[in-house]
Amino acid sequence: MKGMVLAGIDVSADELVVAVEREEQSLPVARFDNDAVGHRKLIRWLTKAGRPVRVCLEATGVYGLELSLALHRAKQMEVMVANPRAIKDFARAFLQRSKTDALDAKAILEFVKRMPFQAWQAPGIEILQLRAVSRRITALTKNLTMEKNRLHASDRCEELTKFIRDDLASHIEHLKQSIRRLGKEALAMIRQSPELRRGFDHLVSVKGIAEASATQILAELSVLPGDMTPRQWVAHAGLDPRHHESGSSIHRPARVTKAGNKYLRSALYMPALVAIQHEPNVRAFYEKLLARGKKPLQAIVAVMRKLLHAIHGMLHHDRDFEGEKFFENRA
């Protein structure tokens, strides 16, 4: 590794904290915005010495994927996306007890210096294209809902002319056509890939996950590293509970973090509602939570979380949904 620039990057939603060693000399920790502009600045900074660069970051999913792709495409750049558990255990072995972004970046730097380097394999182009189409459908669907609301409100607004109402109706029809066209394109992409088609078939085996939801869920999950655990999937979706306690008097109810992939979280919501209605074991699990005093929304989020665990098992073991494994109803 002599002559190579080594970098460890701690990734958060808004910022990249970078620890670098160049010519066996540690540089001051640098910080960059976690967006396309920040990624370009980071790459220029790392490669300005003209030396090959070896970078390591954690597999944080939604916050790190775009960065990983940008680094992967850059010249003279090797990228390793390590399992967060491996880095955590490595830092613990070095007796790192404090936790700051700068210390985390330095721990990742030490990890890439001392551990066998495993080059990251970027998701296939068909997976990235599927995700792009799926997210475009999500954006258009959001616009469609807004335009429908505007058209509905126009009946109560005398100032809006017939021309504006007709324009709203025309735009709504255009959005519907675009969503249908993109949906067909997404299904065609899935059918062309045996792996995607197999995962899609497993997803629609759940009573509650139809083609549109299966496409969204599959598109978001397929870009994740294959060694992520179900709990890491849950954290990636922002469905992990966050506890708030202070002293002996403040014990607020746990709430989901929502600090994750909003597309995946949104794609799981309607399937959870429908599964509660039509999948007996899911309904039994939901009703048990209500009986324990959970509020309906809390129980729905718990179903989403457990459903994501089930999907992890289905995709990794190549099996359809089994209600008894989701929840054994002994009533």
Sites in the chain below the pLDDT cut of 50 = 243-252
Determine the pLDDT at residue 290. Answer: 97
- Burial zone of 114 (CB within 10 Å; 0-12 exposed, 13-18 middle, 19+ buried): exposed
CA–CA distances in Å: residue 56 to residues 4, 8, 29, 74, 289? 13, 5, 15, 14, 41
pLDDT in tens, 140-177: 999 999 999 988 887 776 666 788 888 999 999 999 99
Determine the pLDDT at residue 306. Answer: 97
Determine the pLDDT at residue 86. Answer: 79
The predicted model scores a pTM of: 0.76
Determine the pLDDT at residue 250. Answer: 43
Determine the pLDDT at residue 329. Answer: 73
Contact between 18 and 66 (Cβ < 8 Å): no
CA–CA distances in Å: residue 292 to residues 279, 285, 311, 329? 20, 11, 25, 15
Question: Interhelix angle for 162-192 vs 194-203, to 10°?
Answer: 120
- Give me the half-sphere count of Cα atoms (radius 13 Å) on the Cβ side of residue 177: 6
Measured CA to CA, the distance from residue 262 to residue 164 in angstroms comes to 33
Determine the pLDDT at residue 193. Answer: 94
Q: Residue 256: enclosing H or E segment and its boundaries?
A: strand 250-256
Other CB atoms within 10 A of residue 285 CB: 22
